[in-house]
């Protein structure tokens, strides 16, 4: 015989399982959206760094030395190190 207590237990278990599944799917969906945003940000950063490098190179060709040369060296070193990381 099925009692009200058994029915309440089944409903509670079903609700818990449903909530857990919803939580997992929400987490995965949020993670996918974050990954997509990170990829977009990385693409934007590549463009910005490329433009910065071009600007610094143009200034260097115009005869600006000192901090420009140091910045070019630092940027090139950073890009080289970043290329060899994971």
Q: What is the pLDDT of residues 62-83, one digit of tens each?
A: 998 889 999 999 999 999 998 8
Residue 60: which residues within 8 A CB-CB, separation 6 or more? 68, 69, 72
pLDDT of residue 86: 63
For the chain, the domain total comes to: 1
pLDDT of residue 66: 87
Instruction: Kindly state the percentage of the chain with pLDDT values over 90.
Output: 81
Query: What does the block give as tokens for 31?
Result: 């993670």
What is the rounded CA–CA span in Å between residue 77 and residue 59? 19
User: Which residues constitute the domain of residue 8?
Assistant: 4-83
Residue 25: which residues within 8 A CB-CB, separation 6 or more? none
Per-residue pLDDT tens digits for 26-42 = 999 999 999 999 999 99
Q: Is the pLDDT of residue 1 over 80?
A: no
């Amino acid at each position: 015989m099925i009692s009200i207590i058994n029915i309440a237990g089944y409903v509670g278990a079903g609700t818990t399982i449903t909530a857990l599944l919803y939580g997992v799917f929400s987490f995965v969906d949020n993670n996918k959206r974050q990954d997509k945003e990170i990829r977009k940000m990385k693409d934007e950063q590549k463009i910005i760094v490329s433009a910065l490098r071009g600007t610094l190179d143009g200034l260097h060709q115009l005869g600006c030395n000192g901090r420009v040369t140091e910045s070019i060296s630092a940027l090139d070193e950073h890009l080289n190190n970043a290329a060899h990381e994971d």
